[in-house]
Amino acid sequence: MAIVQISKLLNRTGNLVDLPQLSEGELGWATDAKLLYVGKATPAENVQVLTSYSTIAFDQINGVVGNINITSANLAAGEVLAYNGNSWVNAGGNAGGLVTLGTAGNVKITGGATGYVLGTDGTGNLSWTPKGSLYTNITALSNATPIVMSVPNTTPYSNDLQVTITGVNGNANANVNGKTFYVRLAVDYPTSGNVSLYTAAGASGPVVGTGLTYTNSPNAIGTATLGSGGSNGGSFVAEAGGANTSIQYNNNGIIAGDSNLIYDFANRVLYLNGNANVSNFSSNGTITANHITSSGVSNLGAIGNVIITGGTSGYYLQTNGSGGLSWSAVAGGTGIANGTSNISIPAVNGNVNTSVGGTANVLVITTTGANIAGTANISGNLIAGNIIGTVANGNSNVSITANGNICLTAISNTVITITGTGANIAGTANITGVANVGGNLNVSGNIVTATLTTPTITAYRETTIVNASVSGTYNIDMSLANEFALTLTGNTTFSFINPASSGLTSSFTLFLVQGGSGSYTATWPVSVKFPNGSTPTLATTVGKTDVLAFITYNGGTSYFGSLSLGNC
């Protein structure tokens, strides 16, 4: 036996971190933590010597598996200590959780007799009962022939099941008490719970109910042995339908099964090879299917009902466009971020803000349009139209389909759709900077108070206002058009209204056609100046046209007019 000589004891106020590295075999006492350590040279470390002050975790004990993680908040009598794959926890009772007992050979419950089975009273209490025995309270017995017996409509009766009746009080009760009958289910049995009583199988020998009264409903009992029947007058166990482990069902009173609907009782798994039309689907385990299709709203209830393993706290689910989901990191708040660029919806049902490279709100989507602070560089077409729109906060969102469009929606209004060829804006595009359009600019509405710099305009057209009968006074409104084709049917005095403001040029062309009987005159505003101060002479012949041009640069203070073509 090795003898350890203690050469000295090093004492320090504090914890382990306050002790220096002890020499081989040297002891050190951490007075605050009241812990004793011994020095170890290779590798260099201070090893704790267990004392009454030591605290160790369960998983630090050599040979143990997992840790102990008992939830004290719901501890109650009857719970057991179980291993959940990671830790030892309290399970069963108030704690919940699955308690696996393994094979049936691992379980032993005393009492009962050979062949008996465990039955429940519906409230959780168990007792031993003869195998296949079914005890049902009888709610009504008629005095018709055959007698109609009523039981709860959830009772698993089938045609020609043998039922023994006991405990009936009332007149002529000897006709039924202690006797066994064959039942025939009413067509509406799933709702009424009514069966007719016969003395033989196959609805043969109707039981006479004359004079029968039932005065102690529902205390009489109908006792049946499930699987008994009346084929050829004797009892039998009904042959199961379908393949092994097929689920049995009632096919017009006949027990049937189907190999496409089976239950793996060993692993507690239900298999269906086909379609399942289910109004509500609830499972505490795993549901596996090639396709799950919902024709309406799939209500999963509270968020606590949904558990998808994996990921890290704060991660979100994203799709690959083909239905595959994966966890991805996301910046905090109500948006998507990558470095100093982000898309955010700061207010519920509010605007959608886009910031780039640390510059905030470069693009702000509102209910009325898109506000761009800076330059909008669009290499394709900018077409104003409808937008379909999901990163969301309330009813504002941004959605991107797989390899498809990007849709931005603000306060339930889809405002921008970005496609592979350009951006479509539904609403007003408020641009405070310069909009550089590298492709076509298709506008379904008006371009209002816009400045176009060195544009190339193809197939230029102007709106022309045509009026086939003008006389008296007439206003030429330059906010409506730049071309006017008017037919004089009387002498006419003209006014020019709504030119551009001073500093901008407004011009229009006037086509005057002599109508009616001809020789009609035109009187011009005093602000109009003609060459040499001479008012041009108009055509007088019916059907002849004069073409005049007018222009102003000072908001209508002065108009400069000329007769471009006369008497055409």
The DSSP string of 37-73 is EEEETTTTEEEEEP-TT----GGGSTT--SEE---GG
- Percent over 70 (pLDDT), the chain: 74
Please tell me the predicted confidence (pLDDT) of residue 236. Answer: 37
SS3 annotation, 519-541: CCCEECCCCEECHHHCCCCCCCC
Using DSSP bridges, classify how beta strands 559-565 and 528-529 pair: parallel, antiparallel or unpaired: parallel
* 3-class DSSP state of 87: strand
- Is the pLDDT at 473 greater than 50? The verdict is yes
Give the pTM: 0.30
Q: What share of the chain is helix, strand, coil (3-state, %, to 5)?
A: 5, 40, 55
Q: Looking at mean pLDDT, say which of 81-90, 161-170, 272-281 comes out highest.
A: 161-170
pLDDT tens digits for range 17-72: 667 888 787 888 877 777 888 888 888 888 878 787 777 666 666 666 766 666 66
Name the amino acid, one letter, at 360. A
Letter string b/e over residues 209-225, b meaning 16 or more CB atoms within 10 A of that residue's CB: beebebeeeeebebebb
Burial class (CB in 10 A: 0-12, 13-18, 19+), 537: exposed
Find the radius of gyration of the CA atoms of the chain: 47
Most confident of 86-95, 144-153, 421-430, 458-467: 144-153
* Cβ neighbours of residue 168 closer than 8 Å, sequence gap 6 or more: 138, 141, 176, 177, 214, 216, 220
Q: Return the sign of the alpha-carbon dihedral for residues 153, 155, 161, 166.
A: negative
SS3 category, 303:
helix
| Residue of 320, 342, 467 whose CA lies nearest to 401 | 320
Dihedral pair phi/psi, residue 241, rounded to 5°:
-100, 165
| DSSP letters for 418-486 | E-SSEEEE-SEEEESS-EEESS-EE-SS---S----S---SS----EEEEEEEEEEEEEETTT-SEEEE
Cα–Cα distance measured from residue 355 to residue 361, given in angstroms and rounded to the nearest whole number: 5
Q: What is the rounded distance in angstroms from the CA atom of residue 559 to the CA atom of residue 378?
A: 40
Looking at residue 235, its pLDDT comes to 38
- Computed over every residue of the chain, the mean pLDDT equals 79
Place of tokens 């465990």: 118
Helix (H, G, I), strand (E, B), or coil: what is residue 4?
A: coil
317: three-class secondary structure by DSSP: strand
SS3 407: strand
Averaged pLDDT for residues 337-360? 84
Phi, psi (degrees; rounded to nearest 5) at 206: -60, 135
How large a percentage of the chain has pLDDT more than 90?
30
Show the beta-strand stretches assigned E in 329-437: 335-338, 341-344, 352-356, 359-365, 369-372, 376-378, 381-383, 391-393, 396-400, 406-410, 413-418, 422-425, 428-431, 435-437
CA–CA gap between residue 201 and residue 251 (Å, rounded):
18
Report which DSSP code applies to 458.
S
